[in-house]
Amino acid sequence: MVATRYPPPWFSIAPMMDYTDNHFRTLARLISKHAWLYTEMIAAETIVYQKGNLDRFLAFGPEQHPIVLQIGGSDLENIAKATQLANSYGYDEINFNCGCPSPKVAGKGCFGVRLMLDPKFVADAMSVISANTDVPVTVKCRIGVDDHDSYNELCDFIYKVSSQSPTKHFIIHSRKALLNGISPKENRSIPPLKYEYYYALVRDFPDLRFTINGGINTIDEVNAAIREGAHGVMVGRAAYNNSWNLLGHVDSAIYGAPLSSLTRRQVLEKYQEYGDSVLGLYGPKPNVRDVIKPLLGFFHSEPGNGLWKRKADAAFLHCTTIKSFFEETLVAIPDSVLDSPITAAPIGFTDVFADAKRLLPPPHTVREEELLYA
């Protein structure tokens, strides 16, 4: 079987718990044909223990390719079983989560970003995943954890994982994680961004691929990161909260496709068909609110957005189909908004990555003990 070739992952949408579900990915793919999509993180134990109900967690429409499954876990046997069970769904890559700072994951669960403190286990996990799948495997991590935040410690992690496993691609969230009780939301803003660590990794590990993540919110910023040498860019909440204005420019501004003539109304018509086809697929779920949730940023900054959201709150109480929901709420949005094609992309900061390259830490050199480890 010949593997399908997709555009390179210059742009990807970050895995986000409770956000990058099947509904959002369906919407994202209606807007962008080339963005790489990621699932939410799914715990290996969930896949293993729900093997009789896997469609609910792993199924996706064929139009979602290229799509990456992100799994998390701290038990090698369950990680192996989960990988085997996921194979039949046909994901294009499998990513291992070493970046989530949630107390449920990094604390009680003892995985996520806490695994950055145990690169040997991560290497073992990546070897297990790779041995049980035919698709590429990748790691998503932070630049450090608590006081383990020096550039050399980050390099130790990258070196050990890449030299002891088939991992050749790392997605780097350019903040460290703090596990001292701050929330996951605060962990996305309080630790400072250090893009200079990312670009130093690109310099010091020329045989590896690195995707930059964290604090990137516009197409201008995506292209600026790539111009400065980023191998790929991953965007998180900006892609969710302002999906039309950001994702609508991915194919043209990043992949060189003609600017789309697609309108919001056309996207909503297709999304309605999808939404009504999946309502109640798993008993009471998904419901209308679940399916509409990814659309709450669809009219970001447009006339009628506030009124539409108020109408949506009322419609959630009684609408039983996506069709009836749209009939009741879309009257708040002017036709000029619904029927206009994608317009100019929001302007972003374009010099932040050049500044980072002027702050690069000294080159990493492999220490004798690392050579012994490898």
Q: Catalytic residues, which ones? A: 100
The gap from C-alpha 187 to its chain's centroid, in whole angstroms, comes to: 16
**Residues in contact with 92: Cβ distance below 8 Å, sequence separation at least 6, in sequence order:** 4, 6, 65, 66, 67, 68, 135, 136
Of 226, 335, 239, residue with least CA distance to 28: 239
**Residues in contact with 225: Cβ distance below 8 Å, sequence separation at least 6, in sequence order:** 212, 216, 233, 353
Decide: 20 and 54 in contact? Cβ < 8 Å. no
Q: What does the alpha-carbon distance between residue 71 and residue 39 come to, in Å, rounded to a whole number?
A: 9
**Residues in contact with 122: Cβ distance below 8 Å, sequence separation at least 6, in sequence order:** 96, 98, 115, 116, 139, 157, 160, 161, 165
Neighbours of 303 (CB within 10 A): 13
Coil vs helix vs strand at 128: helix
Give the H/E segment covering residue 239: helix 237-241
- How far, CA to CA in Å, does 271 sit from each of 26, 30, 364? 8, 8, 49
- How far, CA to CA in Å, does 120 sit from each of 71, 123, 161, 251, 311? 18, 5, 7, 38, 52
Give the H/E segment covering residue 67: strand 67-72
* Sole residue written with tokens 């609910």: 56
Neighbours of 77 (CB within 10 A): 11
Name the binding residues for FMN: 15-17, 70, 140, 173, 213-215, 236-237
Q: How much of the chain is in helix, strand and coil states, percent to nearest 5?
A: 45, 15, 40
Name the binding residues: 15-17, 70, 140, 173, 213-215, 236-237
Amino acid at 257: A
